[in-house]
Every structure is written in structure tokens, then in C-alpha cells.
Amino acid sequence: MNYPVWEPPMLGGGLVIGIIAILHVFVSHFAVGGGLFLPITERKAYREKNAALLDYVKSHSKFFVLVVLVFGAVSGVGIWWSIGLVNPEATATLIHVFVWGWAIEWVFFIVEIAAAFIYYYGWDRLDPKTHLMVGWIYFASAWLSLFVINGILAFMLTPGRWIESPSFWTAFFNPSMLPSCVVRTAVSVALAGVYGLVTASTLRDIALRTEVVRYAAKWVLVGTLIIPLAGVWYISTLPPMAREISMGAAPAVTIFAGLSIFFSALVVTFTYFGPYQHPRYFNLTFAFVIAVLALSTTGVTEWVREAVRKPYIIYNYMYANTLRVADLSRVRQQGVLESARFVRHHQVDPLKPLESGREVFRVQCASCHTVDGYNSIRFAVKGWSSDMIEYQLLHLNELKGFMPPFVGTDAERQALRDWLLSLNPQPAPREPGSPGVQAETPAASPGASKP
């Protein structure tokens, strides 16, 4: 509550982060898996003395550099921009807890960028042995970058012993760090194959296309074989409430978890019966279908990973609205408006209670809800009475375990209640005889005589 609240219209801050992050994850994991695909395939071409395959690796490396170093880098900046605006309190916490981790990751990132450029521009300039070494240096730095960032992301869901014993090491080596790293590495391998299918499908040499298509399909199948095995390990490390949210406690999250499995199964099925079994007939359209399915899998899986963390942004430490668990008692007594720095009213204004209620909404609810757009609060409370809203606010975290408790004074809760009630005003009853209202006709008695 030490920073201003940013409210993107209609989309909401969470959806802005989600859109950028999903696209970035889809590319950044290719940056790791593709970094393994290139030197292994180059080595295969040298070993088999296959000049045509080596030419393919050269063309694929150009595609790789453009996607990873242009879109990947820009979307990475976009993530920092969006999380810094939407949830600066949590971002600051991650920076302070992992300051040396971020510094190390930036070293790996710089080496990764330099190696990628040297690898691409080193074709026909470096001898094969040196060129391969540059490729391996790129992959090592890219995977180490993933290793560091994975530990930080895993910490947000499973901080583990850090809550009781705060240190860099207890934060980084948290319960889900290793299984999550295995899952992400397997995803990287699978996506290397998916992107490989896209470039291989454009080859004109039928024999070469057939060979590379089947080869890329093997990468997809190997990666997707590891993912569910590591996924079971990962799920076993999650907090009980997080598992329950994905398994029925929150129906929307359960549906998305099911979609993750469904899309993954489609990727495996399409890859096995398409490019793996019939590589000769594979084409660019089919490649894009598999790529879209893989992107859909990434999207719904990342959405579920974020959703099961609710009501926290850092589990058991900070709620999604940036309120620290340790500050609950203080804010309840002091008031949420008094505790927030960037609000117009630090007390409920009895002359403008609805404005005060809107301020309470911004501080406590706007991190997840918009007024009229994504996850609309107007729609959520439609048809609710004043008593219903009051009851929900009093028992918010008990009725909906994925939402933070309401924290504030009685006056702030009542101001929020009144503002929520005002979002869906009830139409005033119209008097009989007014335009559009028909006068009520007395019903005839059963024994009345007919004319």
C-alpha cells in the first residue's frame, strides 16, 4: 500500500501482465530449448556430413535470433514494465529478497545475448569446433538464466522455510524449485521441436523436409513425455489450498486445468500422427496448428499457475492486493485508507461516502477486479442486496478461499458496501397510470353472470 494503484481500463492489471507474460514464456522457453536444438543438430550434420542439414541449421539460427533476441527481449522488458506498475510492492519484495540472484541472472543474460550473436554471425567465419563451442556456451547461459528465474517464480507459490527463516538460500531453494525447473526444461525441449516444425515445413527439398520434420517431432514427443511425470512431482509440492483450487474448489480454475491437459494431449496426438508418422505430407499450415495448440497450452497452464496462488501474490506473506499478512491487525485498527499513501481520502468522508467506497475498492480490490471489464465487479454483485454485500465483505475469505479478507474499519466496509450497491441501481417503481403502466383490471368473480 506504499505505491499508487494502476487501473488499466477494461483489461485490468492482471490481464495486462498475463497477455505479455504468456507470449514471453512461449518465446523464452524456446530461447532455452532452441539453444539446445541448434548445437545438437549442427553436430548431427557434421557427424553425418550432411551439408543440406547444415544449411537448414543456418537458416533456423536466423529465425531463432529474430524471435528470441527481438520479440523475446522486448516482451521481457514488457513484463518488468507491467509488474512494476500493477504490483510494485511485490516486485520490490522480489528485488530485495533476490538482489544477488537478479545480478547473476543478468550476467547469464548478457553472455546469452553475446553468444547468440556470435553463433549467428560466426557461420563460415569460425571453424566448426569453435562454432559448436559458442552454441554450447549459449545454451548453458540460457539454461542457467532459466534456473535462476525459475527459483524466483517458484518462491512466489512455495516460499517454504523463508517465512520463518528469511534468507536468499531458503527463498531460492524452495519446495517447488527443482520439480518446476524440470518441467520448464522439458517444456523448452518440446517448444524447440514445435518451432523446428515451423521452419522445417518451409523446406523445398522433400527428402530434407521429411528428415527434419520427423527429427523435430521427436523433440516435441520427448519433451511432452517428461512434462506429466515432472508435473506430478511439482503438484505434490504445492500448498494444500493451491491443489484444492485447481481440483474443484474454484470451478473456473479447474476448467482451465482440464484445458491444459486437453491441449497438451492434442499437441502430442497431432505431432505423433502428423509429422512423426507422416513427415512427407507435413506443411506450414499443420505446423501453425501445432504451434497454436502449444501456445494455448502455455496460456492456460500459466493462468492456472497464477490462479492457484490466490489469495496471495507471495504465498502466506503478501496478499494479491499487496497487503502483507503481518500487517493485517494494524490495518484493521488503523483503516485501509489511513494506511494507503496514494489515496484522495485518508478517512471516510461522510459527505462523499461513495467516493470513499471507490477508494477502498481501488486499494483492496482493483488488483484483481475491474469495474466493467475483465473480472467485472459490477457483474459480480449484480442483484445483491445491501445485506448480501455486507455479509460477503464480513466473511470474504471464508466464503471464497481464493480471495483476501476485507481489512479496514466498519466505516470503510460500509462505504465500500454502499459503492458496490450503487453500481447496479434498482429502477424506481412507477406509479399506476404513468406512461407505459396499465391500470390493473379487477378479476371477475367465479359466480359472475355472463352477459
Q: Which pLDDT does position 436 carry in this prediction? A: 54
Note the pLDDT tens digit of each residue in 294-328. 999 999 999 999 999 999 999 999 999 999 999 99
Pick the more confident residue, 400 or 175: 175
Q: Which of 214, 196, 157 is nearest to 180 (CA)?
A: 157
Check for a shared fold between 12-319 and 333-425+440-444: no
Note the pLDDT tens digit of each residue in 112-129. 999 999 999 999 999 999
User: How far is it, in rounded angstroms, from Cα 17 to Cα 314?
Assistant: 16
User: How far is it, in rounded angstroms, from Cα 132 to Cα 56?
Assistant: 15
* Over residues 251-276, mean pLDDT: 94
Query: Are the CB atoms for 1 and 318 separated by under 8 Å?
Result: no
Mean pLDDT of the chain: 91
β-pairing, 318-319 vs 312-314, is antiparallel
Q: What is the dihedral of CA 198, 229, 231, 33, to 10 degrees?
A: -30
Residue type, 345: H
Domain boundaries, the chain: 12-319, 333-425+440-444
Is the confidence at residue 339, as pLDDT, over 50?
Answer: yes
Question: Which ranges constitute the DSSP H helices of 87-202?
Answer: 88-97, 99-121, 128-157, 168-172, 177-200
**CATH architecture observed for domain 333-425+440-444:** Orthogonal Bundle (1.10)
The reply to whether CATH 1.20.1630 applies to domain 12-319 is yes
* Over residues 173-195, mean pLDDT: 97
Is the confidence at residue 444, as pLDDT, over 80?
Answer: no
Query: Are the CB atoms for 1 and 407 separated by under 8 Å?
Result: no
Q: How confident is the model at residue 447 (pLDDT cuts 50, 70, 90)?
A: very low
Query: Are the CB atoms for 312 and 375 separated by under 8 Å?
Result: no
Note the pLDDT tens digit of each residue in 22-79. 999 999 999 999 999 999 999 999 999 999 999 999 999 999 999 999 999 899 999 9
Query: Are the CB atoms for 318 and 87 separated by under 8 Å?
Result: no
Residue type, 340: A
Q: Which pLDDT does position 427 carry in this prediction? A: 67
